[in-house]
Amino acid sequence: MPIELIKFCEILENNIKGMLVPINKPEGWTSFDVVKKLRNVTGFKKVGHGGTLDPFASGLLIVGFGSQTKKLKTFLTCDKTYEMLVRVGIESDTMDRTGRFYKREENVCLNEDLLQKTIDSFVGSQTQIPPMYSAKKVAGVPLYVKARKGEFVERKAVSVEIYSIDLLNVTDDTFRLNVVCSSGTYMRVLAYDIGRALGTGALAEELVRLSIGDYTLEESFTIEEFIKQWKLLAA
């Protein structure tokens, strides 16, 4: 039996009425797109996810089916790990590459020593202001809905914890980070804040979620793998 099918059977064996499955969300899909697709494939009426990933981001998304959806809220408070590519010399209204650019600086050249010192200063307890383009709800309405209408909402700063930031590589105008952080931490805000601290501006160019609590991206299924294994078991 293929290892993927063995893993899938292990997920199902405890409770056929529901399951928790780690999914590797591709770029360009919303978290709801994944839920909708897998609901249609499996026929489960109750399907949800344990923490939104931005459409431009990829990586680990915990999807719950049936009776196991009640466990999804536990993932909202789990620590998480991300890998993020940050581009300096540019800012956007979404704080990532998908937004409207409103600041550009030409001929930016990163100093690695200064960059390292700046990154180190962001390790520890701190506050972040949730971005307007986010799923956070105010009076029951996601902020991104209001942002798309051109509305602005005052947001309260939230306390977060960044446990570690490792600098993986640097070019003239980009750097890649591995970040371990508490729940509620916005990677786009971190990129923006680092850019402001450097005096260059910055945005999140790429973002991959690597872990949620004890779940890791390495043990996840792509959507295609999930559909294939589901059909094999249903045959």
Do residues 56 and 148 lie in contact, with contact meaning Cβ atoms separated by under 8 Å? no
Q: Which residues contact 27 (CB under 8 A, 6 or more apart)?
A: 55, 56, 57, 58
Structure tokens at 195: 């850019």
* Annotation says 54 is catalytic: yes
Q: How many residues are present in the chain?
A: 235
Question: How far is CA 125 from each of CA 29, 78, 128, 180, 197, rounded to the nearest angstrom?
Answer: 31, 16, 10, 12, 17
Do residues 179 and 57 lie in contact, with contact meaning Cβ atoms separated by under 8 Å? no
Catalytic residue among 33, 54, 96, 214: 54
DSSP 219-230: G-EEHHHHHHHH
Question: How far is CA 44 from each of CA 66, 69, 148, 212, rounded to the nearest angstrom?
Answer: 6, 11, 32, 24
Residue with tokens 């930016």: 108
Distance of CA 117 to the CA centre of its chain: 25
Do residues 203 and 90 lie in contact, with contact meaning Cβ atoms separated by under 8 Å? yes
Residue positions annotated with a catalytic role:
54
